[in-house]
């Protein structure tokens, strides 16, 4: 069965600090990978996605993620966080072409001004 692990439950950073959130998945086949963000009081929004090709993908708001197939990882990065990045971040995986997403438990990011 597919599973997704996000090892950081709560991360607290000061503005301008660099961010890296870990995501590891378990699945033997070809996968699509996603990072979603949920800002306080808002619905889930797609930050970025990996379907195929260049393993370094860039998303909205300066976020990027790197797919490392050998490590089954898809870590999210941002060089300099802002207070407005305070939110909960979810990593998700699906079998290629399927619409049933498996989500990690989420990482709550708090950015201190």
Partner 1 sequence: KAGVTQTPRYLIKTRGQQVTLSCSPISGHRSVSWYQQTPGQGLQFLFEYFSETQRNKGNFPGRFSGRQFSNSRSEMNVSTLELGDSALYLCASSRVGTNEQFFGPGTRLTVL
Long-range CB contacts for residues 55-59, cutoff 8 Å, separation at least 24: 59/35
Site string for partner 1, 68-107 (x = CB under 8 A): ----------------------x-x-x-xxxxxxxxxxx-
Q: Which is nearer to partner 1, 32 or 73 (CB)?
A: 32
Nearest to 91 by CA among 35, 39, 50: 35
Site string for partner 1, 10-49 (x = CB under 8 A): ----------------------x-x-x-----xxxxx--x
Longest CA pairwise span in the chain (Å): 42
Size of the site for partner 1 (CB under 8 A): 23
Min separation Cβ 113 and partner 1, Å = 27
The whole-angstrom separation of Cα 63 and Cα 79 is 8
User: Residues interacting with partner 1, by CB under 8 A?
Assistant: 32, 34, 36, 42-46, 49, 90, 92, 94, 96-106
């Amino acid at each position: 069965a597919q599973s997704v692990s996000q090892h950081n439950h709560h991360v607290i950073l000061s503005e301008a600090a660099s961010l890296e959130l870990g995501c590891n998945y378990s699945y033997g086949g070809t996968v699509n990978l996603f990072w979603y963000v949920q800002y306080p009081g808002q619905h889930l929004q797609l930050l970025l996605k990996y379907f195929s090709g260049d393993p370094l993908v860039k998303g909205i708001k300066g976020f990027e993620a790197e797919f490392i197939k050998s490590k089954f990882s898809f870590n999210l990065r941002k060089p300099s966080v802002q207070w407005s990045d305070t939110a909960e971040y979810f990593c998700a995986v699906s079998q290629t072409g399927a619409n049933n997403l498996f989500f990690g438990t989420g990482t709550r990011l708090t950015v201190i001004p």
